[in-house]
Amino acid sequence: MASPPLHPALEHLAERPFSFYPPIVGVEQNEWLYRKGTWSEILVLNCKTEQEVWIPRRFIGEVSRNDDPVLIVGLTRELEFKAGAVWPYQKRVLQMPPAAPPPVKPADGEKAESGPAPVVGIRLEPTDRRVFRMIGIALAVAIGLYVVAMNLNRIGELRQRNVVFTAADQSFLDLNARDTFSGVVAKLGPPAQERSQEVGTIHYRALAYPDRRYTVILMGPDRETARYIGVMDDNWKPMHSVDLHSGGTTLSLLRDLKRF
């Protein structure tokens, strides 16, 4: 039986690397190759890990018309890669433990018990002491390992979300994902240079501040509504990114963005 034809928007993906937007959560390298497709999903290959992933067609959106600087395939919602497949990304909500019930008040006519509870002497045998001591040591080691793991995880997140920068001027830290061109100018002043380019239906604006040694990047469906997504240094390396509502960042998108 012949394989199903490509969707018209996906015909030019064969043998051409592309990036998803928004990037798939849980995948560090956002560069893919199209492999094949069925009526309900397409198979893509990650260029770095060589991991093949099936993407349901209902999540595939618009495809950019050219690949300068990078071919972009839009996703209708943010996805997360786990257990070898992609799933709609959901923020994890931590449930607070239930509050302890209030103390029961004694009924009228009853005496409330007062004073400490009676202490019953417990005599531990030497073997019991060793067992309790080993349990205590194991708990202490487990708590220590947990603290170390949490610190390492926190450091990793900080390195990923807040890129280390070397510029003396740090005014760009006042920028956020809601800032358009007017918001950037209000906080940093007019740029010395401005460049722009269109990638399919996505519009990029680069606001250069040579005296501050960095370039502010805006992105959006058109020039007027483009919003702040990050800052690039003189070597076109990301210095700052913004958080997405889904929990990811624009760092992967900035790394894949070619200089223009």
| pLDDT on residue 123 | 60
Opening angle at CA 77, ends 75 and 81, nearest 5: 85
* Residue 109, CA atoms < 13 Å, CB-side half-sphere: 0
Number of C-beta neighbours around residue 194 at 10 A = 14
* Residue 233, beta-bridge partner list: 214
Question: Tens digits of per-residue pLDDT, 82-113?
Answer: 888 888 888 766 667 666 666 666 565 555 55
Q: Is the pLDDT of residue 126 over 90?
A: no
Q: Find all residues with CB under 8 Å of 240, minimum gap 6, and list them.
A: 162, 163, 165, 172, 173, 175, 230, 231
* Residue 21, beta-bridge partner list: 74
Question: Tens digits of per-residue pLDDT, 11-63?
Answer: 667 678 889 888 999 888 888 888 888 888 989 999 988 889 999 999 988 88
Q: What is the mean pLDDT of residues 170-189?
A: 92
pTM of the predicted protein model = 0.40
Q: Is the pLDDT of residue 233 over 90?
A: yes
Q: Cβ-count burial of 95 within 10 angstroms (0-12 exposed, 13-18 middle, 19+ buried)?
A: exposed
| pLDDT on residue 162 | 47
| pLDDT on residue 193 | 93
The three state secondary structure string of 133-173 is HHHHHHHHHHHHHHHHHHHHHHHHHHHHHCCCCCCCCCHHH
**Cβ density class 41-61: b for 16+ within 10 Å, e for less:** bbebebeeeeeebbbeeebbe
Q: What is the mean pLDDT of residues 138-161?
A: 75
Q: Is the pLDDT of residue 204 over 70?
A: yes
Q: Rounded CA gap, 219 and 232, in Å?
A: 14
**Six token digits for residue 144:** 């220590």
**Six token digits for residue 29:** 């390298």
**Six token digits for residue 33:** 């190759």
**Six token digits for residue 159:** 């390195």
Q: Find all residues with CB under 8 Å of 163, minimum gap 6, and list them.
A: 237, 238, 239, 240, 241, 251
Q: Rounded CA gap, 240 and 90, in Å?
A: 25
Q: What is the mean pLDDT of residues 105-127?
A: 59
Domain ranges of the chain: 8-88, 127-161, 171-256
**Six token digits for residue 12:** 């030019």
Q: Name the pLDDT band for 240 (thresholds 50, 70, 90).
A: very high
